[in-house]
Structure 1
Amino acid sequence: MAVTFEKHGQLHYVDPAGHHVSVGDHVLVPTEEGPEVAQCVWAPEGVQQADFGELPACLGPASDADLARDKANRKFRSQARVVVNRLVREHELPMKVVGIDYLDRHKEFHREVVVYFTAPHRVDFRLLVRDLAKVLQARIDLRQIGARDATRVTGGIGNCGRDLCCSTHLTRFEPVAMRLAKDQDLPSNPLRVQGACGRLMCCLKYEHPLYQDFVKKAPKIGSRVKTPEGEGKVIGHSVPSDSVVVRVDGTGEVTRCLQADVCPARKAFDTRPRN
């Protein structure tokens, strides 16, 4: 099953371990700092073990005490963010806070507040750490992250209208090149194919094998094919729907046909002599 610690947040795959869990249920999931409350967003189902590897086991439903602790921690993170932003302004530091994490079961410290931020360069935040530790009464850990990680933390909506891949199902970032956009018949202007983080969209990378497989099987643009509507010429491809766009002879009608419904046709205007 899949769970998330934040609404519309990163998906984490978990072994139900025999527990009966439905979508929306709150369960306990093991982490490095101890069990934490997460919400089920993908009900348990059978999968191949090799596809997911060794999964952490669900520790069962979250109790009322677990839910109360989780609610209190969320409230503390919200209050801590207000404090951090205020002190950043007071110290006039060129940094932007993008996320706050709070650990109340740290192995070495009673309480720890982790602050994720972005900045154009290195920041001297020694005075900020001192003041934060005094106000929040906790150990402070400031971590500078890049644009892609910042977008993963904050989340958002992509060009496709769905939740960002990095903040939901992607587990690691891979390098993306403009060549991938060209292979997918997308604009060669980087500004047209960049994501919310300002870098090239991650989907260009993990969707690229689908386009490569499609090109191997689909008739080329300009080739002649036979379709249920008649013979015509291929004028475009539609990889997401596994279909080709054909202009039918005679009527000039443009139709979209599944690959399974088209087959090659001899060129209608091939007047070369044949032996």
Structure 2
Amino acid sequence: MSQILGVKFNDFGQIYYFSSGPFVVREGHSVIVKTEQGMGLGKVFVSQQDLPEDITEDSVKTIYRLAGEEDLIIDAENKALSRDALKFCKRCIDTQKLEMKLVDVEVFFDRSKMIFYFTAPGRIDFRELVKDLVKEYRTRIELRQIGVRHETQMLGAIGNCGQICCCRRFMRKFMPVTIRMAKEQNLFLNPTKISGICGRLLCCLSFEQENYEQFHKRCPKLGKRYNTAHGNVKVTRSNFFRNTLTILPEVGDEIEISLDDWPDVLKATSPDQLSSREPADVESRKSDGPQARSGAGRGQPSGGKRPERSESRPPRGERPARSDRSRPARGERPGKPERSGKSERPVRPERPRPEKKKRPLDSRDGSGQLKDAEKSESELTNRPETGSQERKPAPKNRRPSRRRRRKKPSGGSSSGSSEN
């Protein structure tokens, strides 16, 4: 049964996946594989049954064959050739006075191509350098410019933590690192502390960035004020490792609470409603403090206890119902002294609504006719309809509409009003 092999062509290079095919391969064996750039010799670092999630079956090729002793000798000669080419290229760079730094030289297994890796601050005109390299090695020459991170990955270094750099040990792809990550992780923005050997931001800042993002989503905004069980507080800082928040109330010292208890602190109205209750002596001091004084101001004793019932007050079961109690009038209440200088305010009776007098129809003013007609209409609409009573017809003296009045003016009243 074929296996999935993870092959590396360099110690610092990326892992490429191949199928073992009919060959029996173990970790540490050397194999010959076909690549887009020709034949190559690699070393097996991973041997497993399943493909990684980001690899498809179509992209996996079968190895060409297992490497023999002759292949291993050729590989050793290629490594010696790369060391000699590195020295020769450095001499040519010094002779031509080029502003570039040579990092490493890679020789293909069949010597069909040689790649020279270098770093430079800008663009370099190395046409004369390529001519010298072609005359010396009689093969294809490629000069590839790389960044400072890849340079550290190829050469290796010791980081600030005292271990070999992550890019040299296990990293194969560089993740983007920004200064925002350092701010979210509450690090001092000191370049010597947050920068690596390469001079760029530490790659390890991106390792825990996802956890910090989830933590900050749960945290309230720093510097904002909230109404909580401890009163109006201000969120001063948060601690990712302890999973806590630090709040500052208006009166008192800072309080550190767990982030899991923050929703309960917002919902509660007093510290007594929280799950973590305060000690009994603190609660007793609080009850003897402002609460007792506020109770005394409302007519209660300073001890906070209600006064005992007097003997003259009947028990609750013997009291008459509220509806049976005879309530004296306002002026007849016994024991209440009369107010000096102020007379008792009598109850204002409801005033009867006076009826409007009907004006005769032969009046010179046409407004009385209109008011009588409106009143008769309102009486008809407000009167409830019953089965026994029939609806009365409209009065005969109803004022005609405007159109009718214009066409057929009635009597002297309409003519008199028009003349006026």
Percent identity (aligned):
33
Report the counterpart of residue 232 of structure 1 in structure 2: none
Is 1:266 the counterpart of 2:267? The answer is no
Change (3 A) 1:49 1:104: closer
Report the counterpart of residue 191 of structure 2 in structure 1: 190
Report the counterpart of residue 307 of structure 2 in structure 1: none
* Residues 30, 67 of structure 2: 8 Å contact kept: yes
Q: Secondary structure at the match of 1:79?
A: helix
| TM-score, normalised by the number of residues in structure 2 | 0.48
Q: Distance in 1 between matches of 2:170 and 2:151?
A: 16
Report the counterpart of residue 7 of structure 2 in structure 1: 3
Counterpart AA for 1:45? Q
Change (3 A) 1:30 1:187: farther
Give unpaired runs (5+ residues) of structure 2.
Answer: 220-237, 245-257, 262-274, 292-420
Q: Distance in 2 between matches of 1:24 and 1:104?
A: 18
* Residues 29, 44 of structure 2: 8 Å contact kept: yes
Report the counterpart of residue 127 of structure 1 in structure 2: 128
Shift of 1:103: 3.2
Q: Distance in 1 between matches of 2:94 and 2:25?
A: 45
**Structure with greater strand percent:** 1
- Post-superposition Cα deviations, 1:172-231, rounded to whole Å, max 9, x if no partner, equal 43431112123233322232111222111222224311333456689xxxxxxxxxxxxx
Is 1:73 the counterpart of 2:89? The answer is no
Is 1:14 the counterpart of 2:17? The answer is yes
| TM-score, normalised by the number of residues in structure 1 | 0.69
1:196-207, aligned counterparts within 5 Å? 196-207=197-208
Is 1:52 the counterpart of 2:62? The answer is no
Change (3 A) 1:111 1:169: same
Q: Distance in 2 between matches of 1:156 and 1:37?
A: 26
Q: Distance in 2 between matches of 1:187 and 1:30?
A: 49
**Structure with greater helix percent:** 2
Q: Distance in 2 between matches of 1:60 and 1:111?
A: 20
Report the counterpart of residue 93 of structure 1 in structure 2: 98
Counterpart AA for 2:15? H
Q: Secondary structure at the match of 2:53?
A: helix
Q: Distance in 1 between matches of 2:61 and 2:160?
A: 33
Give unpaired runs (5+ residues) of structure 1.
Answer: 219-234, 246-258
Q: Distance in 1 between matches of 2:34 and 2:169?
A: 19
Is 1:41 the counterpart of 2:51? The answer is no
Shift of 1:59: 3.7
- Post-superposition Cα deviations, 1:83-138, rounded to whole Å, max 9, x if no partner, equal 11111112222211011122364xxxx74322111122222222222222222223
* Residues 11, 169 of structure 1: 8 Å contact kept: no
Q: Distance in 1 between matches of 2:62 and 2:277?
A: 61
Report the counterpart of residue 141 of structure 2 in structure 1: 140
Considering only CA atoms, is the larger Rg found in Structure 1 or Structure 2?
2
Of the three residues 24, 27, 31, the one matched with 1:27 is 31
* Residues 40, 109 of structure 2: 8 Å contact kept: no
Report the counterpart of residue 208 of structure 1 in structure 2: 209
Q: Secondary structure at the match of 1:166?
A: helix
- Post-superposition Cα deviations, 1:135-170, rounded to whole Å, max 9, x if no partner, equal 222332222222223223333333344443334544
Q: Distance in 1 between matches of 2:39 and 2:142?
A: 21
Counterpart AA for 2:119? T
Q: Distance in 1 between matches of 2:34 and 2:159?
A: 31
- Post-superposition Cα deviations, 1:43-98, rounded to whole Å, max 9, x if no partner, equal x1244542434444444421222212211211111111111111111222221101
Q: Secondary structure at the match of 1:97?
A: strand
Q: Distance in 1 between matches of 2:160 and 2:55?
A: 29
Counterpart AA for 2:125? D
Q: Distance in 2 between matches of 1:85 and 1:127?
A: 14
* Residues 96, 119 of structure 1: 8 Å contact kept: yes
Change (3 A) 1:32 1:217: same
Q: Which one is further off, 137-146 or 51-60?
A: 51-60
Change (3 A) 1:89 1:133: same
Q: Distance in 2 between matches of 1:194 and 1:31?
A: 37
Q: Distance in 2 between matches of 1:55 and 1:190?
A: 43
Q: Distance in 2 between matches of 1:188 and 1:10?
A: 32
Q: Secondary structure at the match of 2:38?
A: coil
* Residues 159, 197 of structure 2: 8 Å contact kept: yes
Relative CO higher for 1 or 2, CA cutoff 8 Å, sep ≥ 6? 1
Q: How many residues align?
A: 238
Q: Distance in 2 between matches of 1:28 and 1:131?
A: 31
Q: Distance in 1 between matches of 2:192 and 2:54?
A: 35
Q: Secondary structure at the match of 1:30?
A: strand
